[in-house]
Amino acid sequence: MTSPSMPSLEDPRLVAIGLGLLAHLVFKTTEPRQPRVWLLLLIGAPTALTISVNYAFSSVTTTVLSVFTIYFATLLTSLALYRLSPFHPLAQYPGPILHKLSNFQMVRVALTGKRHLYITELHKKYGSHVRIGPNVLSVVHVDAIAATLGTKPGMPKGEMYHSLQLPNTPTSLVGTLDMAEHAEKRKSWSQGFTPAALKEYDPIIQRRTNQLVRKLEQQVGTIDLGKWISYFTFDFMGDIVFGGGFEMIREGDTRNLWPVIIMAMKAGSITFAVPWVRGLASLLPMADDFKRMLSFAAERVDIRQRRGPISKDLFYHITDEDSVTGRNITPPEIPPEIMVAIIAGADTTSSVLANLFYSLLRNPDVHAKLKKEIDGAFGPDEDTLDVAKLQNMVYLNACINEALRLFPAVPTFISRSPKVGGGPVLVAGRVVPEGTNILLPFWALQRDARYFSMPDKFWPERWIERTFYNEKTDGSNTTFVHNQAAFCAFSQGSQQCSGKALAYREMRVVVTMILKKFDIAFEEGYNPQDWEAGLRDDTVIVKDKLPVTLTVRARRA
């Protein structure tokens, strides 16, 4: 019997192993993003080897199976061993093994819509720094805010923001990673949120809020308050961005835009975990929702350009129609910017308002206290509210801040990355290698007992009081913790939300007008626990129905 010979260097199996190791080296050092490079590495290399060695096996089928099996087994094994080895740059950080192996584990979590809860539990188990991907570190620590989001030093956005747009489309403000380029784009946006610009928006807020209140007066029985708030925010942003054009309060969502926005955000939530698939995103069904949003934005841009400015709307500032900033924005760049403005201004504000009304209904004492403050500040027939007075209403602002703390509109999406070539950085007392994607889950941070007493309780007084007594029968006091440095609902630093002041302005008027006009209660038989159970983390918080009954309040003397 002839013993089998040892494989030589010409053995195709050894070549397949070598190619697999080489592919791992390419992925590790260059992290290619182009689909053609992926096709070359994953399909082209083993195919070329198969063609060149088809004489080595008994059949073509055996050759293909053998080469591809050995190639991918080598590549995957090499990746797994390296990612779990002590030689990996993030080896010192704890986290679930499956997350260390692949970002696809977080895709699975994203599909559930409960990423905000899942990441919170991971931090409770593993601590402030948790490795949630091969090159992704989630950090929940107040000191991480200055290190990542601060103006000095601060960091560029992480590559995960590539997931916010389709390939071969201009980069929007939110998707811009380069800090200098972002700062240049932001100049024109900032012009739309100066104190002077905000004053021009006040009549629009009043008009749209009055329209919403009149429409709610016409409703009979149970309504979905969240839906009507969404209609309001969309109409309002249409006015702010284009000088008008949306009439959802009057006509409803006749173009079915809200479901498209929600699906586009869900798609972004999934690709956020695996940004390298962006190159293939246009081939996936989810891309249709992005395309519909871009098409809608382009349509509105065309109408606005043909009509010209009738006021200094946000379009006027973003496109620098008055040549203040000197920004040379090209026509293809405008629709992505406008789409960001619509989604950021409408979807996020509507979710915060809906969560605030839910929280008020869950806490009747808070609800009553806020109504008392509103009644003391404004008469029953006041349709135009004093913005300055609203800004100084202590309890109203405490309620809004508390809703933002408990239910941040962007719960887990903020990401930064130490610049490649800049060396490792210190983040909350731990060394983080350059190029690492650092996730800052605000949902977990703002519910952390280290920074907020009774972190899961809706308690507006925390923004006013400085001490409190716990509910122990002996009446002993306990340390009050309220670290506002951990409050990041609008992000922080040079890249924080441009529309923060406008959002507060808008929310104050809406909450005040609705509570001044109506008594509100949950629909009879509704289980309030269903509300939080129905919240989804799909890039932004996506809300479920908020079934309530409204009763016009009796006229006050």
249: tokens are: 């309060």
Strand partners of residue 138: 130, 439
User: Do strands 415-416 and 437-439 pair parallel, antiparallel, or not at all (unpaired)?
Assistant: antiparallel
535: tokens are: 């919240």
What percentage of the chain's residues is helix, strand, coil (to nearest 5)? Answer: 55, 10, 35
CA dihedral 210, 214, 215, 216 (to 10 degrees): 100
Phi (first) and psi of residue 521, to 5 degrees: -145, 155
Q: Which residues are annotated as a binding site?
A: 497
Q: Which helix (H) or strand (E) holds 416?
A: strand 415-416
DSSP readout, 273-337?
A: H-GGGGGGGGGSTTHHHHHHHHHHHHHHHHHHHHH--SS--HHHHHTTTT-SS-----GGGHHHH
* Cα separation values, 460 from 105, 188, 399, 404, 484, Å: 37, 35, 5, 11, 13
- At which residue do the structure tokens 């340390």 appear? 479
Phi (first) and psi of residue 30, to 5 degrees: -115, -20
Cβ(448)–Cβ(455) below 8 Å: yes
Cβ(14)–Cβ(7) below 8 Å: yes
Each residue of 5-34: b (16+ CB within 10 Å) or e? eeeeeeebbebbbebbeebbeebeeeeeee
147: tokens are: 């290190």
End-to-end, the C-alpha distance of the chain in Å comes to 110
Q: Which residues are annotated as a binding site for heme?
A: 497
